[in-house]
Amino acid sequence: MRKHYTAAFKAKVVQEMLSGEKSVSQISSEHEVHPNQLRLWKQTVLEGMAGLFERADRHLVTAAEHEQQVTDLFAEIGRLSTQVAWLKKKSGLDPNAR
């Protein structure tokens, strides 16, 4: 049966590795995780660090795009509502039309 570790546990162990106070073998024996697995976790963290800063920028861009899309959709709803009202009036289907 394979062991599954939480993201919080992995982060804690990698922080210990990055602090440099203990060797990889010490951390490995304390947490009962194979040293190769620890190295993989550390490599993943180091490769993904730049992405942490990019996500914040990407979130701002995505939020702006979403806001623009909402504005465009509301404008289209207004145009379509006006067209439906006009068509009802001209076709005689609107009981309120004069």
pLDDT tens string 40-66: 999 999 998 877 777 667 777 888 899
pTM for the structure as a whole: 0.54
Q: What percent of the chain has pLDDT over 70?
A: 94
Whose CA is closest to 6, among 33, 39, 36, 30? 33
Mean pLDDT of 69-73: 96
Give yes or no for residue 73 having a pLDDT over 80.
yes
Q: Taking a C-beta distance cutoff of 8 angstroms, is the pair 31, 41 a contact?
A: no
